[in-house]
Amino acid sequence: MLDIQNLNVVYGTGRLRVDAVKNVSFHVESGAAYGLVGESGSGKSTVLRAICGLAPITGGRVRVDGQEVTTPRGKAFYRTVQMVFQDPYASLHPRHTVDRTLSEPLAIHGEKDAEARILQALREVGLGPSFRFRYPHQLSGGQRQRIAIARALILRPKVLLLDEPTSALDASVQAEILNLLDDLRRRLGLTYILVSHDLAVVAHLCERLLVMQHGEAVEETTADALRSGVASNPYTQALIQASRGFTRADKPSVQALAG
Amino acid sequence: MTKPLLDVEDLRVRFHLRTGTVEAVRGVSFQLGRERLGIVGESGSGKSQTGRAILGLTPPPGEVTAKRLAFDGIDLTTASKRTLRELRGGRISMVMQDPKYSLNPVMTIGEQIIEAYQAHAKASRSEARDKALAMLEAVKMRDPGRVFSLYPHEVSGGMGQRAMIAMMLVTDPDLLIADEPTSALDVTVSMEVLRILDELVTERGMGLIFISHDLKLVSSFCDRVLVMYAGRVVEELEAKNLREAQHPYTQGLMRCLPTLANDVRPLPTLNRDPSWAL
Amino acid sequence: MAGSPLAEQPSSLRAWLLSPEPNSRWQARLGRFYLGWRAFTRNPLAVVGLGIVVLLILMAIFADVIAPYSPVAGGDLRTERLLPPSETFWLGTDDQGRDIFSRIVHGSRITLLVIVLVALIATPIGLLVGTVSGYLGGWVDTVLMRTTDIFLAFPRLILALAFVAALGPGIENAIIAIAITSWPPYARIARAETLMVRNSDFIAAVRLQGASTPRIIMGHVVPLCVSSLIVRVTLDMAGIILTAAGLGFLGLGAQPPQPEWGAMVATGRNYLIDQWWVAAMPGIAIFVVSLGFNLLGDGLRDVLDPKAAK
């Protein structure tokens, strides 16, 4: 479904040159969920943004559904690939009602039957029709994220790019959104690319994942391997260790890497 | 039993707004010795307002009342402004969430630590400078001399937060309130910051109030945990006994987190019972 | 809150407006408007400002009914010239024996015309230039903003004077001149607001739906700039009225015998010591209307643009 070969993303030139992503390659089967894990500055979000055209592809190639993507992306691309952002407080237009937010993609692509599709989209993300004419400020964080997911799904894309979709939410709300995403993928046969700093979240949603550090791919592994604590790379080990919570015993490996 | 360092009874924080009065903290009571106490809750549970109220940092139009709010025998509700000012930053310090917003952007880190020290201790400039450098070393800065002369925007988030901790601990406080001190940091960096905090708190025998939304982190870091919901403490328990939590809210919070250890799906969600908020 | 979706009795109108679950686009919009109105009415000075502006509009509409005399036809120059305020001539008469009250009432039409036309010409230009420049960036931004800078470099009255001198005196040319000189600050504001939102996630989201650039600017960026622009335009109205009056005063705006307030002050200047009312009355009118717009603008700012307040 998605094939990325030697992707490079470079911002700026000369002294200001930043290599945000260096030679990253991975392949995602149709209907699979693939995770990108790393800390801030690892380039994991930049990979997502490069796929959907919000960041430049400096080198390498991105293939979606067998076709290499064009710059600028065409309308057909956006019907295939959609994105959900990290902060639901920033990703909804503050002056638009839910109705307007959801009808916009339909209007752009000249879809008919907006009324029914909006109600269906709301139903899919577990919200009733009573939410249709609310403004974002009348919604909680979890409800906003559900609207953002509904907006991404309303064009019936095949690939969903998820950029830290739960990290701005409370733990109990995170569980609801993770369940929803899990359920939607099965029901609609979606392909996910999930970016997160939280190993547990990635392992919960994805089968395979790529650990990134400083713009480079460190290790490709599987959720099962993570669960059993198997990792060949010391950085992945450190991440697994950190995700288990604070330990009093000294772990020099973590310290050495984190500095 | 020794006299508690901090004694809080029936603490309430109210905000009088145009639309009515909102009670953010509704009768919180606890005692703190020289130990690590965690306060856990989701957004809107009143955990941060509890920490702020102890320091007298409740933003207007908030109103704080308490049957008793005493620090080391000093009644904070009736203490003069002068006494409060001396305590704040002197014997009680606070570390905030994001170092970007809590460090002064136009002063070097060293200057800020010196200023914090001289505000509460009579010391010459060179003494204060030595103390600041020692403090930067204590928070494991690799090159304290260099960090001393850097501005906040020139250091990473983890270094900024460590500088913040250095600044807050330079006066040797008896009580440190840390409000989400690591949630703006990467996991591996935050582990390191926590380790430094842990060492300093243990070495100096401070009391620590650790406010966080992360139940897992708090239970692994603190001795005792207060779980807050809708402005109240719904459960208080020893951190090591967290698995035996009685309150359905605490249990729900524990279960709804995905873990690497076991794969549960769908994740159990939290059914909020209105009676919890009563 | 829950239940009775059709509760539209007057008693529950408030509840209907404030419903957290609006049932239609209109209810959502009206509810938002009502909240804004409630915030607005909390500021008594703003309500006074709104009252003055409404009064000006009513005065302009019903000028023929309100004014007791003709605003242009002169009276008997022997008996009705330069009379002080009295029961027959409420605000006195001018050097042509015309009733000053009637002239001020009719002059409100000219003032309102200036305000409406300037707002209709300058605001869209400023909005368009600002949002396009801010959203597209690059060389488009450079060209548009340097052009704006050139216009900004001249004081408004001087530039308006130059335009009127080139186009010839008259109220229409004065309006065009004022409009041409007032858009640059609006472009600046719109650009600043656009720069704030252009990299936000909700703009990225609509780009990822395949929206075209004009669609993003018109449908998503402009609505966020409009409120601060409305505030600025309202606050600017006082200055626009003064500029129009200033041009009139210099004889470059409305031409006699049109009852333009600035021109009326100019004629009254000759009799300032002995017949003070001739200049003072239109002067007071200019002052009150300017004040009204300023108060209204302050109130609107508190409602529409809470960040900028104080």
CATH of the domain at C274: 1.10.3720.10
For residues A64 and A81, is the Cβ–Cβ distance under 8 A?
yes
Number of domains in chain C: 1
Q: Which residues pair with B39 in a beta bridge?
A: B211, B226
Tell me the residue ranges of DSSP E strands in chain C: none
B79 or A161, greater pLDDT: A161
Q: What is the pLDDT of residue B2?
A: 64
Is A135 close to C32, i.e. CB distance below 8 A?
yes
For residues B268 and A179, is the Cβ–Cβ distance under 8 A?
no
For residues B198 and B204, is the Cβ–Cβ distance under 8 A?
no
**Chain A: residue whose CA lies nearest to B186:** A39
Is A92 close to C223, i.e. CB distance below 8 A?
no
Question: Which residues in chain B are contacts of A178 at CB distance < 8 A?
Answer: 258, 267
Alpha carbons within 13 angstroms on the beta-carbon side of residue C239 total: 16
- Domains assigned to chain A: 2-258 (3.40.50.300)
Q: Could you say which DSSP state residue C219 is in?
A: I
pLDDT in tens, chain C (310 residues): 344 444 444 557 888 888 777 888 888 888 888 888 888 888 899 999 999 999 999 999 999 999 888 888 887 888 888 888 888 888 888 888 889 999 999 999 999 999 999 999 999 999 999 999 999 999 999 999 999 999 888 887 888 888 888 888 888 888 888 888 889 999 999 999 999 999 899 999 999 999 999 999 999 999 999 988 988 999 888 888 888 888 888 888 888 788 889 888 888 888 888 888 899 999 999 999 999 999 999 888 888 876 554 4
Q: Which of A171, A200, A254 sits opposite B191 (nearest CB)?
A: A254
**Chain A: residue whose CA lies nearest to B221:** A246
The residue among A177, A201, A246 with the most chain B CBs within 10 A of its CB, best to mutate, is: A246
Q: Express as a percent the part of chain A with pLDDT over 70.
A: 96
Q: Which of B189, B214, B256 sits opposite A172 (nearest CB)?
A: B256
Stated pTM of the model: 0.86
Q: Which of A171, A176, A248 sits opposite B257 (nearest CB)?
A: A171
pLDDT digits (tens, 9 = 90+) for A178-193: 999 999 999 999 999 9
Residues B39-64 have a mean pLDDT of 88
Q: Which of A74, A99, A108 sits opposite C209 (nearest CB)?
A: A108
Task: Let me know if residue C28 belongs to a domain.
Answer: no
For residues B166 and B134, what is the distance between their CA atoms, to the nearest angstrom? 9
pLDDT digits (tens, 9 = 90+) for A182-226: 999 999 999 999 999 889 999 999 999 999 998 999 999 999 998
**Chain C: residue whose CA lies nearest to A157:** C209
Task: Let me know if residue C157 belongs to a domain.
Answer: yes
Q: Which residues of B touch A (CB under 8 A)?
A: 42-43, 142, 157-158, 186-192, 194-195, 198, 213-217, 219-221, 252-253, 256-261, 263, 265-270
A259 or C82, greater pLDDT: C82
Task: Let me know if residue C69 belongs to a domain.
Answer: yes
pLDDT score of B12 more than 90: yes
Amino acid at A36: L
Q: How many CB pairs under 8 A join A and B?
A: 104
For residues C286 and C259, what is the distance between their CA atoms, to the nearest angstrom? 13
Q: What is the pLDDT of residue A255?
A: 42
Q: Which residues constitute the domain of residue C175?
A: 58-304
Instruction: List the structure tokens of C219.
Output: 């449908």
For residues C111 and C122, what is the distance between their CA atoms, to the nearest angstrom? 16
- Chain A neighbours (≥3 Cβ pairs under 8 A) are B, C
For residues A84 and A90, what is the distance between their CA atoms, to the nearest angstrom? 11
pLDDT score of A51 more than 60: yes
Question: Measured in whole angstroms, how far is the alpha carbon of residue C81 from the centre of its chain?
Answer: 35
* C-alpha distances out from residue A38 to A197, A199, A211, A236, A238, Å: 5, 9, 6, 9, 11
For residues C260 and C248, is the Cβ–Cβ distance under 8 A?
yes
**Chain A: residue whose CA lies nearest to B43:** A170
Is A246 close to B191, i.e. CB distance below 8 A?
yes
Rg (CA), chain B: 19
Is A54 close to C224, i.e. CB distance below 8 A?
no
What DSSP string describes chain A?
Answer: -EEEEEEEEEES-GGG-EEEEEEEEEEE-TT-EEEEE--TTSSHHHHHHHHHTSS---EEEEEETTEE--SSPPHHHHHHEEEE-S-TTTSS-TTS-HHHHHHHHHHHTT-S-HHHHHHHHHHHTT--GGGTT--GGGS-HHHHHHHHHHHHHTT--SEEEEESTTTTS-HHHHHHHHHHHHHHHHHHT-EEEEEES-HHHHHHH-SEEEEEETTEEEEEEEHHHHHTT--SSHHHHHHHHHHT---SS--HHHHHHH-
Q: Could you say which DSSP state residue B267 is in?
A: P
Is A83 close to C202, i.e. CB distance below 8 A?
no
- Map residue B39 onto helix, strand or coil: strand
Is C205 close to A108, i.e. CB distance below 8 A?
no
Q: Express as a percent the part of chain A with pLDDT over 90.
A: 61
Measured N-to-C along each axis, helices A98-108 and A114-124 cross at an angle, to the nearest 10 degrees, of 120
Instruction: List the structure tokens of C147.
Output: 């052009």
Is C21 close to A131, i.e. CB distance below 8 A?
yes
Alpha carbons within 13 angstroms on the beta-carbon side of residue C1 total: 1
What residues have CB less than 8 Å from B179, skipping those under 6 apart?
B48, B51, B52, B94, B95, B96, B97, B211
Q: Specify the pairing of strand A2-11 against strand A18-28.
A: antiparallel
Burial class (CB in 10 A: 0-12, 13-18, 19+), C155: exposed
Residues A123-148 have a mean pLDDT of 91
Is B188 close to A245, i.e. CB distance below 8 A?
no
ipTM value for the complex? 0.88
Is B257 close to A170, i.e. CB distance below 8 A?
no
Q: What is the pLDDT of residue C130?
A: 95
Shortest alpha-carbon distance between residue A131 and chain C (Å):
6
Q: Which of A78, A90, A95 sits opposite C209 (nearest CB)?
A: A78
**Chain C: residue whose CA lies nearest to A96:** C220
Residue reference for tokens 């006074």: C48
Shortest alpha-carbon distance between residue C201 and chain A (Å):
4
Question: Which residues in chain A are contacts of C208 at CB distance < 8 A?
Answer: 52-54, 78, 81-83
pLDDT range class, residue A258, cuts 50, 70, 90? very low
pLDDT range class, residue B254, cuts 50, 70, 90? confident
Is A175 close to B195, i.e. CB distance below 8 A?
no
Task: Let me know if residue C39 belongs to a domain.
Answer: no
Question: Which residues in chain C are contacts of A130 at CB distance < 8 A?
Answer: 21
Is C20 close to A134, i.e. CB distance below 8 A?
yes
A151 touches chain C (CB under 8 A): yes
What residues have CB less than 8 Å from B192, skipping those under 6 apart?
A254, A255, A258, A259, B140, B158
Task: Let me know if residue C263 belongs to a domain.
Answer: yes
A121 touches chain C (CB under 8 A): no
Task: Let me know if residue C44 belongs to a domain.
Answer: no
Task: Let me know if residue C299 belongs to a domain.
Answer: yes
Residues B238, B239, B240, B246, CA torsion sign: positive
Q: What is the pLDDT of residue C1?
A: 38
For residues B69 and B74, what is the distance between their CA atoms, to the nearest angstrom? 8
Shortest alpha-carbon distance between residue C16 and chain A (Å):
13
The residue among C27, C209, C216, C303 with the most chain A CBs within 10 A of its CB, best to mutate, is: C209
Task: Let me know if residue C46 belongs to a domain.
Answer: no
Is A244 close to B260, i.e. CB distance below 8 A?
yes
Q: Which residues pair with B232 in a beta bridge?
A: B229
Q: Which of A207, A200, A209, A150 is nearest to A174 (CA)?
A: A200
